[in-house]
């Protein structure tokens, strides 16, 4: 479900990252990728404080979904030979593109700069399964800094437990690598933004991380699966901007480097993409578990990727407030939404060692990611959400 939030008078400013994503085409990731994907140009400004607090939610920026000129994502058929980014001469020969055109390389696909005529040539190639234009993925920042020293209401509502030794991959704006309330695996973390480290210079990814796995200690907040190890995969920059190919590259990276039982949080969403959706399905087939935001547009969740993905290891999450009432901004629809979770006025960790309150299905999704770390796919339910707009109330996720 997508995002819109009810905010108590002037104190809650929620930020969330909602990134555009794609749907069905299997992309098996490889280790030897070329240079990280450059973030497309200008940066959206942070959202100003609204007159109506309900307007302050994490949501896509105005340019979210915009086609990046002359940049495409190509997926070869599964029976084709694997590609290797390190073999740049062979890649150039196979594709007819210049060596410096490639933005990312997957086992059976790539993202590259090319002319529209070259893209048409790939579409006619019998070895190619899908060609999609690369698109901007971007979110608007909206949050309130707080000085939290408590267990957030959402964690209390869904339950919590010790997840020491377990790993969660967060595909987002990065994570505050040395936040005192988080355990971050710097070695396995990776940036897909050119010239950037996995450090979170935006805040959204760190907020997600805290809800999932903030330590059970005497400071700050506590996560659902406290003490879990966080692996940051940065696909959006300081302004909350990236590309679809960034996201696909990150999913493929998890497929290549994760293990069964690992959890991936994707508090992002956007236009329908077969390539992204199938990349997620391919990783899920390997036993990797996904928590995915339904979205914040108050429409049916099956109109966007990756929210529309259906697989036993993929869980799409809608949002509710602390009265178990469906959030007005949240996307809905039982054809793909699996659970509802707390997503309004959620306090959590934030960039620069801080804490902030945010709202959105981006905030609801990490509650379910934490439960997946604790229980695997055996998530329980504790009642159903009230006032679900589709008339078929989503079960409320619980430990």
Point out the residues that are catalytic: 172, 204, 362
CB–CB of 3/330 below 8 Å? yes
Query: How far is the CA of 95 from the CAs of 31, 134, 159, 312, in angstroms?
Result: 20, 18, 51, 36
The residue among 269, 306, 309, 311 whose CA lies nearest residue 288 is 311
CB–CB of 319/341 below 8 Å? yes
Beta strands at 229-234 and 167-172: parallel, antiparallel or unpaired: parallel
The residue among 168, 171, 198 whose CA lies nearest residue 368 is 168
CB–CB of 229/373 below 8 Å? no
Query: How far is the CA of 394 from the CAs of 320, 344, 361, in angstroms?
Result: 10, 16, 14
């Amino acid at each position: 479900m997508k995002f819109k939030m009810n905010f108590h008078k002037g104190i809650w400013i929620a930020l969330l990252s909602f990134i555009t994503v794609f749907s069905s085409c299997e992309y098996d990731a490889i280790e030897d990728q070329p240079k990280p994907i450059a973030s497309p140009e200008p940066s959206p400004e942070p959202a100003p404080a609204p007159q109506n607090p309900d307007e302050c939610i994490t949501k896509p920026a105005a340019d979210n979904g915009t086609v990046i000129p002359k940049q495409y994502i190509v997926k070869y058929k599964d029976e084709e030979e694997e590609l290797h980014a390190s073999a740049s001469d062979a890649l150039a020969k196979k594709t007819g593109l210049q060596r410096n055109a490639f933005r990312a390389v997957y086992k059976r696909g790539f993202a590259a700069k090319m002319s529209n005529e070259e893209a048409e040539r790939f579409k006619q190639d019998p070895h190619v399964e899908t060609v999609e234009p690369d698109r901007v993925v971007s979110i608007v920042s909206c949050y309130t800094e707080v000085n939290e020293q408590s267990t957030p209401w959402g964690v209390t509502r869904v339950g919590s437990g010790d997840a020491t030794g377990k790993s969660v991959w967060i595909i987002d704006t990065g994570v505050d690598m040395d936040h005192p309330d988080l355990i971050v695996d710097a070695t396995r973390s990776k940036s897909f933004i050119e010239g950037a480290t996995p450090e979170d210079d935006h805040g959204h990814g760190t907020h997600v991380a805290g809800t999932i796995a903030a330590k059970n200690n005497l400071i700050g907040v506590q996560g659902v699966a406290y003490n879990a190890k966080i692996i940051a995969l940065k696909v959006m920059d300081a302004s909350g901007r990236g590309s679809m190919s960034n996201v696909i590259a990150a999913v493929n990276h998890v497929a290549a480097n994760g293990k069964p039982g690992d959890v991936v949080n994707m508090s992002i969403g956007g236009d329908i993409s077969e390539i992204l959706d199938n990349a997620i399905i391919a990783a899920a087939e390997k036993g990797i578990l996904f928590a995915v935001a339904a979205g914040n547009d108050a429409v049916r969740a099956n109109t966007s990727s990756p929210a529309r993905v259906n697989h036993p290891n993929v869980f799409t999450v809608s949002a509710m407030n602390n009265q178990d009432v469906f959030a007005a901004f949240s996307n809905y629809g039982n054809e793909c939404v699996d659970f509802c979770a707390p997503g309004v006025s959620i306090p959590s960790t934030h960039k620069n060692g801080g804490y902030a309150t945010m709202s959105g299905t981006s905030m609801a999704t990490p509650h379910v990611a934490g439960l997946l770390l604790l229980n695997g796919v055996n998530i329980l339910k504790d009642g159903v959400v009230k006032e679900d707009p589709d008339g078929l109330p989503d079960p409320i996720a619980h430990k």
